[in-house]
Amino acid sequence: MVVIGIGKLAKAAEVRTDTVRYYERLGLLAPPSRTRAGYRSYGTADIERLRFIRRAKSLGFPLDDIRQLLALRADDNARAAAVLTVTRARIAALDTQIRDLHAIAEALSRLADDCPPDAAVSECPILAHLSGLHRHPADSDRR
């Protein structure tokens, strides 16, 4: 059985050694066995586990969710429905966030499109909006 140190593990999983220890503290990684000198020693399954965490992170799961997912993966009695619950909750959170950001981007785009670049800032509808004026001070000729 292949035994590697924290440095090789980190390199294999493309994380920092600090991150490995950090995940151990958070309970995402079990405390590994130690050499006589006190060095952490890992096996290939740990590389797998770290890569799982990386992929989950890249899909927007917070570390708390990832801890749950790891527990479910290791639980022979667990049903896929449990994974689905975590996943659907994440999707819902993402959808909310996307909708919020989209609404903001839309609002900014509309204001930006209405903004004449060469005008003085006093004519700028963006600043006007931020100042709480919902009409341009001199838009009598628009529309």
The interface region with a copy of itself, picked from 12-20, 22-30, 31-39, 68-76 by CB under 8 A, is 68-76
Contacting a copy of itself (CB under 8 A), which of 45, 97, 135, 139?
Answer: 97
45 binds a copy of itself (CB under 8 A): no
Distance CA 15, CA 43 (A): 16
Nearer to a copy of itself, 36 or 76 (CB): 76
C-alpha pair distances (Å), 102 with each of 74, 108, 131: 38, 10, 22
CB 56 within 8 A of CB 21: no
What's the Cα-to-Cα distance from 124 to each of 32, 106, 114, rounded to whole Å?
61, 17, 8
String marking each residue 12-51 x if it binds DNA according to CB under 7 A: ---xxxxx-xx-----------xxxxxxx-----------
As measured in angstroms, the least distance from the Cβ of 108 to a copy of itself is: 5
